[in-house]
A and B are shown apart, each in its own frame.
Chain A
Amino acid sequence: MRSENQSEMQCVECEGLLAEAIDGGLHGTTLAAFEAHQQSCPACRTMVEEATAGLHWLKGLDEVEPPRHLVHNILAQTIGALPSEHAVVSPRGEGWLDKVKGRLAPIFAPVATPRFAMSFGMAFFSITLLLSIAGLHLSDLRRLDLSSKGIAKTYSSTQARVIRYYDNLRLVYEIESRVRDLRRVAAPEKQQPEEPAPKTQPKSDNQQDKNRTNQNYSRDANQPELAASPAGNEPGMKDLTNQARLNRRIA
């Protein structure tokens, strides 16, 4: 009604609507009246500009990560107990997977936070990298949302976290078994399951071969020399001793 005459909006009114205007809460005639006042009032225009800038800077502030032991400490100080997941122990593996799981362990700790989810993400990123270098393709990894936001979301509720934990555990086993398969395929004759999976990367293998042949070549090059001296000397020595005997006889 008032807005029929837009010029009626006063600076005080405008200021009262400022928060809603910036937050997108103004509509229709009120918004039109507010905008009309902006056109004619530089003071209010500046106010809107400043408040908008302030809002944008505040919105640019990220959520910060609480300290790792915060939840643990809170529970210890209230119910005086550790979170129930604390009892969950990650099973033993072998080889480098142990190391990876060592890095994953913090995620399964009671104070799991997205920061650890991040390092978890990084750990799995390394696994993907390793396996793709090794020529393995894991479609399972695609299913995992490894972005920090996705993981943060996942970790927001205990239930989801527990489910994800088992999911990840299964994935670890899957990777583990695939690596074992890879070893079997790569080295079927050699019965050496304890050795790490051989690299199938062509470049490094060729280089190793070259090194090996180089070593062989150098060995071959040395051997004739070493073999030649006693073999060549022996008859010479015999000749010398024979010659000496002959000389003595002559003398």
Chain B
Amino acid sequence: MDDIQAVNALVRRCVTGDAAAWQEIVQQYHRRIYNLCYRFSGSPDDAADLTQEVFIKMYRTLSTFDTTRASFMTWVTTVTRNLLVDHFRKGKYDRITDSLEATPGNQDDGLSLAEKLEDHSAGPEARMRSQEAQKLVHQALRKLSPELREAVILRDLQDMDYKDIALVLKVPEGTVKSRINRGRTELARLLQRSYRQVS
């Protein structure tokens, strides 16, 4: 694949001290890493700090990236995930404060949770509802256990395949699929439960 070759060439230039190549890598990957950190930690500030840490770590360890073992994307995701696990173990991002159940009650727009969750059409009103739905889903995601959360984030938000997720998480593919199933199901139940409470 051309893309993979191009990225590998970029990494090689980086290792030889090419600042422009590093800049290119930062440009290409910061959104993805930031989003992974944001969805996992739940906080934009934590996500920004974590993303910076990830790049500092990447910059120092770039020479250890082995093109024969995994794609650069997988390597980058592994570095990010390991950092997230470290921080989670330290209890840094284990402070889920807002309750999902409490959220719909705060809204005065008279919409049921189902209505908030349903929409995907255009129009400002629909977009507003969509934003509300995004908030609810984001909060529900934070209620999943870290194992299930990272599995569904990597699969459904970062579009990684089972094989690469297995490499990142260092578990068999069967375990990856099982976690994805449980993560999706549990998320649906969380949102469904609060929907029943509201309506």
Q: Give me the interface of A with B, judged by CB distance under 8 Å.
A: 15-16, 18-20, 22-23, 47, 50-55, 57-64, 66-67, 70-71, 73-75, 77-79, 81, 83-84, 113, 156-158
Q: Which B residue's beta carbon lies closest to that of A152? A: B31
Residues of B within 8 A of A (CB-CB), count: 50
In the bound complex, what is the Cα–Cα distance between A73 and B53 (angstroms)? 11
Task: Collect the chain B residues with CB atoms within 8 Å of residue A23's CB.
Answer: 155
Is the CB–CB distance between B38 and A64 below 8 Å?
yes
Is the CB–CB distance between A67 and B44 below 8 Å?
yes
Is the CB–CB distance between A66 and B30 below 8 Å?
yes
Further contacts, 18 of them, CB under 8 A, given A18-B181, A51-B185, A53-B188: A16-B178, A51-B184, A51-B188, A54-B188, A57-B133, A58-B141, A58-B187, A60-B117, A60-B133, A60-B137, A64-B44, A70-B34, A71-B26, A71-B30, A73-B52, A78-B56, A78-B59, A157-B24
Task: Collect the chain B residues with CB atoms within 8 Å of residue A63's CB.
Answer: 31, 35
Given contacts A16-B177, A60-B130, A78-B56, contact A70 B48 (CB under 8 A): yes
Given contacts A79-B19, A79-B22, contact A64 B35 (CB under 8 A): yes
Q: Say yes or no: is B105 at the interface (Cβ < 8 Å to chain A).
A: no
Is the CB–CB distance between A20 and B177 below 8 Å?
yes
Is the CB–CB distance between A54 and B187 below 8 Å?
yes
Q: Give me the interface of B with A, judged by CB distance under 8 Å.
A: 19-20, 22-24, 26-28, 30-31, 34-35, 38-39, 44, 47-48, 51-52, 55-56, 59, 117, 120, 130, 133-134, 137-138, 140-141, 152, 155-157, 162, 174, 177-178, 180-181, 183-189, 191-192
Q: Which B residue's beta carbon lies closest to that of A18? A: B181
Is the CB–CB distance between B30 and A74 below 8 Å?
yes
Is the CB–CB distance between B23 and A55 below 8 Å?
no
Is the CB–CB distance between B186 and A54 below 8 Å?
yes
What are 24 A-B pairs at a CB distance below 8 A?
A: A15-B181, A16-B174, A18-B177, A19-B181, A50-B188, A50-B192, A51-B185, A52-B184, A54-B188, A57-B140, A57-B187, A58-B152, A58-B156, A60-B117, A60-B137, A62-B134, A64-B38, A66-B48, A70-B52, A74-B52, A74-B55, A77-B55, A78-B59, A158-B27
Across the interface, B188 reaches (CB within 8 A) one of A57, A71, A81, A83, namely A57
Is the CB–CB distance between A61 and B24 below 8 Å?
no
Is the CB–CB distance between A57 and B34 below 8 Å?
no
Task: Collect the chain B residues with CB atoms within 8 Å of residue A22's CB.
Answer: 184
Given contacts A66-B30, A78-B59, A84-B23, contact A57 B48 (CB under 8 A): no
Is the CB–CB distance between A19 and B156 below 8 Å?
no
Across the interface, A61 reaches (CB within 8 A) one of B31, B137, B185, namely B137
Across the interface, B185 reaches (CB within 8 A) one of A47, A71, A77, namely A47
Is the CB–CB distance between A66 and B181 below 8 Å?
no
Residue among A63, A83, A84, A113 with most chain B CB within 10 A: A63
Given contacts A55-B184, A70-B52, A157-B28, contact A78 B137 (CB under 8 A): no
Q: What 5 A-B pairs have minimum CB-CB distances, sorted nearest first?
A: A54-B184, A54-B188, A58-B156, A53-B188, A19-B177
Q: Which A residue's beta carbon lies closest to that of B184? A: A54
In the bound complex, what is the Cα–Cα distance between A190 and B23 (angstroms)? 52
Is the CB–CB distance between A59 and B27 below 8 Å?
no
Across the interface, B189 reaches (CB within 8 A) one of A50, A61, A67, namely A50
In the bound complex, what is the Cα–Cα distance between A52 and B47 (angstroms)? 28
